[in-house]
Amino acid sequence: MEVLHTVVGPIATNVYVLGDERTREAIAVDTATPCVAWVTERLAARGWTLKLVVSSHRHWDHIGDNAAVMAATDAALAAHVLDVPGIRDPRSTGAPFVIPPSVPAVELAEGDRITFGDLRLEVLHTPGHTPGSVCLFAPAEGLLLSGDTLFAGGWGRVDLDGGSPDAMATSIARLTVLPDVTQVLPGHGPATTIGRERPWMGLVAQAGRLFA
């Protein structure tokens, strides 16, 4: 697997493209505005075909270029069923630009698998930031795309519409079962590992709640 990464938009959203170098199939995760030119240029340079766009959750800073990337590549869109309404009819509250609607053709749920080429990603439903937040885990590569659930040094906000401290605590606790060497690629900020975050994650899991 080759992982391409860029940072875009007014609140520095991480955009990822994952490609299978053998089959030249790829997926994109969190196609924020403005990323369509970056995505299409990288695909063309490698001769990759984008099969799927995955939204880790419904917030405007992660879905702004969904429609543009889909139109440019003919890729389908996938999101958790609980966040699909907010992607079909996005709220632009707080956004500095209008967020176009996009329609997920694939509704994800806990335990689903996303496959492209020889690669497999497991869908982990990790609510707390939004009801339909998901992480994508590639066990063979030891890679977790964590959206806005897990960051380097903390968890995603739980004070926005649909956020839940209790659900976030449960989601953080379930991620502690992943191996220490798992590389974490979050929706904002630098990459980290489960091992690096385990000390505070373990405290959340033990207490069953978030802490100040």
Structural domain contains residue 212:
no
Structural domain contains residue 110:
yes
CB 172 within 8 A of CB 149: yes
Q: What is the DSSP letter of 149?
A: T
**Domain residues for 137?**
2-207
Helix, strand, or coil here: 88?
Answer: helix
Least confident span in 49-63, 89-103, 187-201: 89-103
Angle at 25 between CA 110 and CA 4, to 5 degrees: 80
Can you give the pLDDT at residue 130?
97
Number of domains the chain is built from: 1
Can you give the pLDDT at residue 143?
98
Helix, strand, or coil here: 94?
Answer: coil
pLDDT over 90 at 91, yes or no: no
List the alpha helices (DSSP H) in 30-147.
36-46, 60-63, 66-73, 84-88
Q: How would residue 155 be classed by pLDDT, with cut points 50, 70 and 90?
A: very high
Structural domain contains residue 104:
yes
Domain CATH code at residue 90: 3.60.15.10
Structural domain contains residue 145:
yes
Can you give the pLDDT at residue 212?
75
Average pLDDT over residues 37-54: 98
CB atoms within 10 A of CB 118: 12
Q: What is the pLDDT of residues 175-189, one digit of tens each?
A: 999 999 999 999 999
CB 164 within 8 A of CB 128: yes
Whether the pTM exceeds 0.85: the reply is yes
Structural domain contains residue 40:
yes
